[in-house]
Amino acid sequence: MKHLHRRDFLTRSALATAAMATPRYGFSSLVKADEYVEVVTTHGRLRGARNEGVTIFKGIPYGGRVSGDRRFRRPAPLAPWTGVRDALQFGSPAIQAPRRNEPDPAEDCLFLNVWTPASDNRKRPVMFYSHGGGFVGGSGASGAQDGANLARNFDVVVVETNHRLGLLGFLYLDELAGADYAESGNMGMLDIVAGLKWVHNNIAQFGGDPSNVMIWGESGGGAKTSCLYAMPEAAPYFNKASIESGPGVRMLPKDVAAETTARLLKELNIAPEDWRKLLDVPAAGLLAAQNKLPPVPPFQEKSNPHSQARRDYSGFGPVVDGVVLPHHPFDPTAPAISRNKPLLVGWNEDEYTFFAWQSKDTEFAKLDFEGIQKKLEPQYAQDASKIVDTYRKENPNASAPAIFVAISSITMMGLGSVDIAEKKVKQGGAPVYLYNFGYKSEKKIPGTDYALGTPHAMDISFKFNNELPPRDGSAPTESYFGGNRPERFAASRHFAELWTTFARTGHPAAKDVPFWPAYNFNTHPTLRIDSTCEVIDNRFRQELAMWRSIGEL
């Protein structure tokens, strides 16, 4: 067991995606239908299924082929179809390990899903979600992010895409392969932009407003949202954003991306001048090679990008290539291109407990305060004692494991979130709202008496309003993460209503939730989201001051 810092995040975040594809929130292969609904799109007619007040369209193609001679390039044009195409089954996710309750992964994966109250041209807000899983896993069909309850209960249209991941989405060939492969290091992000363009051209037919689109995402999806917020090609297609437990302040520099490409070629025994042989390697072979390279997190450290600590890895994610991604999303400043677009950003209070649960780490629950300091010293050296002392002083009744969880959680997701909020305020444009999700699950981490609390990824089912009593009036079943307490239903309602109101108006608000002021440098307000919500001014003031003093913020 080791202290989980941001650089350790990618491997664990892929596990988060796997955990979300569980039977508790799983989908059958076909939509259950009370009736079928047809919609005309720019490429042909689609048939979706209407059930319990929501119309669902699954597996809509939004781009053409990305295999064969289109590998590592922009998609082939999407060919129109004749007749009516069924949109009743999810499309293939990107190449990765097989996903439960989903089609087999495939290289051609450009499909999206739509949940809408009705295809009636009413111009509802559109919530365009990017899934988690770092940049190597996940799908727009992940279980907990079913969009039906958001559409049904809050009158919004929800859209989720599949897009290229891993080396098929982010292999940097710009310096090796010439003009035809320019932008190759950001193909996965450009796929998402293609999905946004599809929404712009078609969503009115599904009851959505193409001029009122919110981009949002959790974990790796938050990092993707951070990139979209800074991408000129995405800018015309959304007007507000939410970055949840995935603060993508910095992305891969070109030199690190080029080194990753060199390591991949070496792994495959391909000389650089023979790079075209990559086009002939089966996708399964590329995935196997990808899995042999140590991963990188979906956001980069604040330290010098040329230091050995920063270059001791290889992996795949968006590249700051100066064109598709002109600069780091939030370094040195918030992106000017999105100056006038409101932003939500925040994290879960106990992010770390998810990773402890996934990796079967029970040792953290046995730590004493001396043990915490020893675990922090390899990363923070002489500052380790200062970190522990600050957290003990500010949390005098907390146990040693609770202090360790607090430190690990804020270094993973909190510091980057605060950094983004502060840079957005300094920009002087649209408001930014900072939050912490704090509903506490009573479920214990197996092998310990330590409760999950508010782990990484638990927010997904809450903000999608999928923590609800059964519609048939039967007794509620245990939530996958959230436990058994009925208070979770109120927390889910608050979270979902805040986000859908933000999508509609640009200001988050909900019934029985206090007014949420924009983040500012006078009161530093943070909304704590729970069954009862609270605005907390200057939250973590001393802890953040300490992190600044040692150069981590």
List, in order of start, the domains of the chain with CATH numbers.
Answer: 6-251+324-337 (3.40.50.1820), 354-549 (3.40.50.1820)
Instruction: Please say if the pLDDT value at position 9 is more than 70.
Output: no
The pLDDT assigned to 29 comes to 47
303 falls in which pLDDT band (50, 70, 90)?
Answer: low
pLDDT in tens, 356-372: 999 999 999 999 999 99
pLDDT in tens, 154-196: 999 999 999 999 999 999 999 999 999 999 999 999 999 999 9
Instruction: Please say if the pLDDT value at position 315 is more than 90.
Output: no
Q: Looking at the annotation, which residues are catalytic?
A: 219
Q: Quick one: DSSP state of residue 252? A: B
Q: Rounded to 5 degrees, what angle do the CA atoms 84, 159, 331 make?
A: 140
Phi/psi zone of residue 526: left (φ > 0), alpha (ψ -120 to 50 degrees), beta?
beta
Q: CA of 37: how far to CAs of 34, 80, 148, 207, in Å?
A: 10, 19, 16, 13
The two tokens of residue 466 are 């999928």
Query: In whole angstroms, what is the distance from residue 339 CA to residue 253 CA?
Result: 24
Q: Which residue in this structure is represented by tokens 């214990």?
A: 444
pLDDT in tens, 507-527: 999 999 999 999 999 999 999
23 falls in which pLDDT band (50, 70, 90)?
Answer: very low
Q: Which residue in this structure is represented by tokens 């995402």?
A: 217
Q: Which residue in this structure is represented by tokens 């270059």?
A: 311
Q: How many CB atoms lie within 10 A of CB 523?
A: 12
Residue range 267-275: average pLDDT? 97
Q: 464 near 146, Cβ under 8 Å?
A: yes
4 falls in which pLDDT band (50, 70, 90)?
Answer: low
The two tokens of residue 427 are 């920009």
Residue range 270-280: average pLDDT? 98
Instruction: Please say if the pLDDT value at position 121 is more than 60.
Output: yes
Q: Quick one: DSSP state of residue 498? A: H
Q: 10-24, 328-342, 420-434: which range is least confident on average?
A: 10-24
Instruction: Please say if the pLDDT value at position 489 is more than 90.
Output: yes
The pLDDT assigned to 18 comes to 40
Q: Rounded to 5 degrees, what angle do the CA atoms 85, 88, 94 make?
A: 95
Q: Which pTM was predicted?
A: 0.94
The pLDDT assigned to 308 comes to 38
| Phi and psi at residue 239, to the nearest 5° | -135, 10
The whole-chain average pLDDT of the chain stands at: 92
The pLDDT assigned to 31 comes to 55
The pLDDT assigned to 27 comes to 37
Q: Which residue in this structure is represented by tokens 């790796």?
A: 220
30 falls in which pLDDT band (50, 70, 90)?
Answer: low
Which H or E run contains 213?
A: strand 208-218
The pLDDT assigned to 472 comes to 81
Instruction: Please say if the pLDDT value at position 24 is more than 60.
Output: no
The pLDDT assigned to 151 comes to 98
Residue range 246-259: average pLDDT? 94
In the chain, count of helices (H) and strands (E)?
A: 17, 15
Identify the burial level of 358 via C-beta atoms within 10 angstroms of its C-beta, where 0-12 means exposed, 13-18 middle and 19 or more buried: buried
